């Protein structure tokens, strides 16, 4: 059984690696991962990248449709995506949301205080 839970595809598009041969390449974006599939010279190709493992991404300025993913283990994966703009938008919002959760703008003590005050106000209104 897979460690990934999502079966709902958000985006699916053709892709290739910039420097290697891959036939019928398909990149599928799920809520929790990216799946890269295709046929290589050695047979079936499958690579799964957890979205939580992506540290940052960068669209290439010189080559069109090229997207570089930098993983937490300092590995860089470059993909040429047919619909790179949609992927950039989704990954940008996903990473911004994760960064807000990991580094909230207020301390945990302030969060507890705000939540406690909100609960107190909602109880007094009922």
Task: Provide the CB-side half-sphere exposure for 59 (13 A, CA).
Answer: 15
How buried is 123 (Cβ within 10 angstroms: 0-12 exposed, 13-18 middle, 19+ buried)? exposed
- For 95, the token pair is 């990473």
Higher pLDDT, 6 or 34: 34
The 10 Å CB-count burial string (b at 16+, else e) for 13-45 is bebbbeeeebeebebbbbeebbbbbbeeeeeeb
pLDDT computed for residue 70 by the predictor: 92
Q: Does residue 105 surpass a pLDDT of 60?
A: no
Give the separation between CA 94 and CA 32, rounded to whole angstroms: 10
pLDDT-derived band at 94, boundaries 50, 70, 90? confident
Q: Does residue 64 surpass a pLDDT of 90?
A: no
Higher pLDDT, 4 or 124: 4
Q: Domain 9-125, CATH 2.30.29.30 — does that match?
A: yes
Q: What is the pLDDT of residues 19-46, one digit of tens each?
A: 888 999 999 999 889 999 999 888 999 9
pLDDT computed for residue 65 by the predictor: 85
Give the separation between CA 58 and CA 86, rounded to whole angstroms: 13
Q: Does residue 1 surpass a pLDDT of 90?
A: no
pLDDT-derived band at 14, boundaries 50, 70, 90? very high
pLDDT computed for residue 101 by the predictor: 58
pTM of the model: 0.71
Domain boundaries, the chain: 9-125
């Amino acid at each position: 059984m897979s460690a990934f839970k999502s079966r709902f595809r958000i985006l699916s598009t053709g892709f290739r690696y910039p420097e290697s041969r891959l036939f019928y390449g398909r990149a599928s974006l799920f809520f929790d991962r990216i799946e890269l599939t295709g046929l290589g010279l050695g047979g079936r190709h499958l690579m799964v990248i957890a979205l939580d493992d992506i540290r940052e991404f960068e669209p290439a300025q010189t080559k069109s449709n090229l997207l570089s993913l930098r993983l937490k283990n300092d590995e860089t994966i470059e993909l040429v995506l047919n619909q790179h703009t949609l992927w950039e938008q989704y990954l940008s919002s996903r990473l911004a949301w994760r960064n807000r959760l990991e580094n909230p703008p207020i301390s945990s003590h302030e969060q507890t205080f705000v939540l406690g005050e909100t609960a107190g106000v909602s109880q007094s209104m009922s």
